[in-house]
Amino acid sequence: MKPFQLTQLAFTDYLRRGDAGTPRGRRQEIYRDSVYKNISQAVADMFPVTKRVIQEPRWDLMMREFISECTLRTPYLHEMGEEFLAYLMHVRKPLATDEPSIVEVAHFEWIQFALYIADAHLPERQDAAAPTENSLWRASPLAVGLTYSYPVHMLDEHGLPTRRDHGPNHLLVYRNRNDDVEVLATDSLSLRMVQLLQAHEGITHLQQYQRLAGELGAHSQDLVLARMQDILASLADREVLFYQ
């Protein structure tokens, strides 16, 4: 390796870790601190609730570990949110003082942010008649179905779920036509119907039922079939689903 490459590696290692043995001067220290502040602020802007829950000085220590240990493959600050979430879920060792819901809270924040910046658009609004048995359905490209152990959509003043009971808590998170991100508490059937339409675009509600039937017990099939049309119509009103 050439001398200038060794110098670059030593400098980037210093930016990550600030090792005492790394040659440095005042300019390098300023640059290191600037890198830390920029990354820490960008992550805090994307995960404000998570930061509030973790609090200083644990947040500062965690961010320094994140910068030190993670690859940070992207030059774009907003994409670092995904890398921070991966660090939180798979790299960071939980502490005894951690709130048990913290990873789910962070994931929920990231989904909302990702939907807000997503480069996708809803279909044009159509003045269609009420859906029929032959209507073809599809899901919004700006909707995500989620299931959490904790009710992460119901937070107290500290950013923690207001109930400590374990779920499942089924949520639909979606961006509406005004670019507002909305959260709908729902049930497993509604969530599964949206997931089916994300996987199989342009099918009737009967075809959806046929795909669901294999997942249902015989005693619940008639009940599900009776509910499906109401669920579809309700989600269409919110433009989570579309039909033609």
Q: How confident is the model at residue 210 (pLDDT cuts 50, 70, 90)?
A: confident
Task: Determine the pLDDT at residue 7.
Answer: 54
Q: Is the pLDDT of residue 240 over 80?
A: yes
Task: Determine the pLDDT at residue 34.
Answer: 78
* pLDDT tens sequence across 153-171: 999 988 889 877 777 999 9
Q: Tokens 């997942």 map to which residue?
A: 215
- DSSP string across the chain: --HHHHHHHHHHHHHHH--TTS---HHHHHHHHHHHHHHHHHHHHH-HHHHHHH-TTHHHHHHHHHHHHS----S-GGGHHHHHHHIIIIISPPPTTS-TTHHHHHHHHHHHHHHHH----PPPP--PPPP-TT--EEE-TTEEEEEESS-TTSB-TTSSBS--S---EEEEEEE-TTS-EEEEEE-HHHHHHHHHHHHS-SB-HHHHHHHHHTTS-GGGHHHHHHHHHHHHHHHHHTTSEEE-
Of residues 116 and 22, the one with the higher pLDDT is: 116
Query: In the chain, pLDDT over 90 holds for what percent of residues?
Result: 53
Task: Determine the pLDDT at residue 222.
Answer: 77
Copy the structure tokens of residue 197. 């339409």
Task: Determine the pLDDT at residue 174.
Answer: 98
Which range of 34-43, 59-68, 157-166, 180-189 scores highest in mean pLDDT? It is: 180-189
Mean pLDDT of 118-128: 83
pTM of the model: 0.85
Residue ranges of domains in the chain:
3-98, 121-243
Q: Is the pLDDT of residue 141 over 90?
A: yes
Task: Determine the pLDDT at residue 80.
Answer: 87
CATH code of the domain occupying 121-243: 3.90.930.50
What's the half-sphere exposure (Cβ side, CA atoms, 13 Å) at 79?
6
